Structure 1
Amino acid sequence: MEFHREALEIVLAAGRELTGRRGADHIKEKGHTDYVTEVDVRVQQFIFRELSKIDPGAQFLGEEKDNSGVDMNGRVWILDPVDGTTNFIHDFQHSVVSLACSERGRITSGIVYDPYRRECFEAQEGWGAFLNKRPVSVSKAAELSQCLIAVGTSPGHRERADESFRKMRAVYDRCQDIRRVGSAALELCYVACGRLDGFFEERLKLWDYGAAGLILREAGGWIQADERQVAAGTPGIREELLGIVWDEMDRELYSGKRERM
């Protein structure tokens, strides 16, 4: 994919802003349990400014901007400057920079960088998935009883807590254990490299899972996503996991279809 290498260098440079933490205590509340720091804004501004130099015809979709005029039929860079902002505020060092490129509505490039561990996950459509330039693939887990599953609590939608925790309990009862890292992009990448076997969370946005979703698919996994929920994992647990966590409305919508992004 054009510009992938240049975009990778921009993301790596931006990662220093997370570890430096300058402005981490300058916090604005966007909504209940939904925060933005000075670092989120500065990283987004830096990445979009540098991308505009190498790809002046592109559009930009980001968590910390008005996206109402973005036409997804063109080329769009999709950014979460700090995925795991609550983690970042507390210096719980599991936050990443997540950048994807969409062309005509299809994700073709994805980069997720964890600056604390200096781990860079990346993929281009059709070229496989990599962690620090080494190929990665999902685990061979074939049923939930073999799995470590990551879950999201959707803290911005606490009206859904009873249903979300019901699903978590149902999965917990059938898997080896569950984990909550607090960054959907990082958790999806951990599924891609075999550290986790599956993931699900409600009410995510495209910038939360776009880049990591491509990385996961290129690593041999699957992801099913819409505006209500996201589920992902190894091929062997797809039907079992979806049977528990996917809402009836979504099962009807996706019946007989492949995942789409």
Structure 2
Amino acid sequence: YWILDPVDGTTNLMHDYQHSVVSLALCRQQEIVMGIVYDPFNDELFSAVKGEGSFLNGKPIHVSSAMKLSETIIGIGTAKRELAKENFARFLKVYENSQDVRRLGSAALELAYTACGRQGGYFEIYLNPWDYAAGMLLVQEAGGKVTDWNGNALDPAQGCQVIGTNGQVHEELLKLL
């Protein structure tokens, strides 16, 4: 089945904050086998097919080579307003242990940026499958790791906590969450 988010970053689009993407994934037997994230504002097409690597506009991409959080920036997501105090306490811990934090407002774009090495990782307390499915494959095929906050594999049919990293900083970031 197909998992489509025609506008990931809807609030951004409503405010002309140009960080919105189209995200499309193909799930076969509970496994994401193809993912595409298209950023029309920058004309960037991120794509991956299971076992074939990740690409940006047809050129291979790879996750960041950072070995520690202090060597990279981390993307954050702010879903679930009722958890704002908990979220901001987490953000502060990550901020204090990384080079800096960023919030784009589009989970699919955050995962694409992690896949191409622009940031060392990204996390959000709750995402729906259409938010993360394509980006998850991009990160994995680019050499990174995507799990829930307990380190377990994601079920593309379920909403969940999501952390995607270059793999090297995964455990360090998990401990902070």
TM-score, normalisation: structure 1: 0.63
Q: Which has the larger radius of gyration?
A: 1
* 1:120 Cα offset (Å): 0.1
CA distance in 2, matches of 1:116, 1:238: 30
For residues 84 and 172 of structure 1, what CA distance do their matches in structure 2 show? Answer: 23
* 2:164 corresponds to: 232
- Encode CA deviations 1:134-161: one digit per residue, 9 max, x unaligned: 000001011111010010111xx21111
Consecutive aligned runs of 4 or more in structure 1 exceeding 6 Å deviation: none
1:96 aligned to 1, 21, 24, which one? 21
Q: Which residue of 1 aligns with 2:106?
A: 183
Contact 2:139-2:166 within 8 A present in 1 as well? no
| Deviation sequence 1:98-117 (CA, Å, 0-9, x none) | 00000011000000000111
Which runs of 5 or more structure 2 residues have no equivalent in the other structure?
A: 149-153
1:244 to 2:169 alignment: no
Q: Distance in 2 between matches of 1:189 and 1:203?
A: 18
Give the percent of matched residue pairs that are identical in Structure 1 and Structure 2: 52
Between the two proteins, the alignment pairs up a number of residues equal to 168
Q: Give matches, 1:1-261, under 5 Å.
A: 76-154=1-79, 157-225=80-148, 227-245=159-177
Higher relative CO (CA 8 A, sep ≥ 6), structure 1 or 2? 2
Whole-Å Cα distance in 1 between the matches of residues 129 and 76 of structure 2?
17
Measured after TM superposition, the shift of residue 228 of structure 1 is: 3.6
Q: Looking at secondary structure, tell me which structure has more helix per residue.
A: 1
Contact residue 9 and residue 19 of structure 2 kept, 8 A:
yes
Matched letter for residue 127 of structure 1: E
Higher strand share: 2
How many angstroms apart in 1 are the aligned matches of 2:54 and 2:166?
A: 14
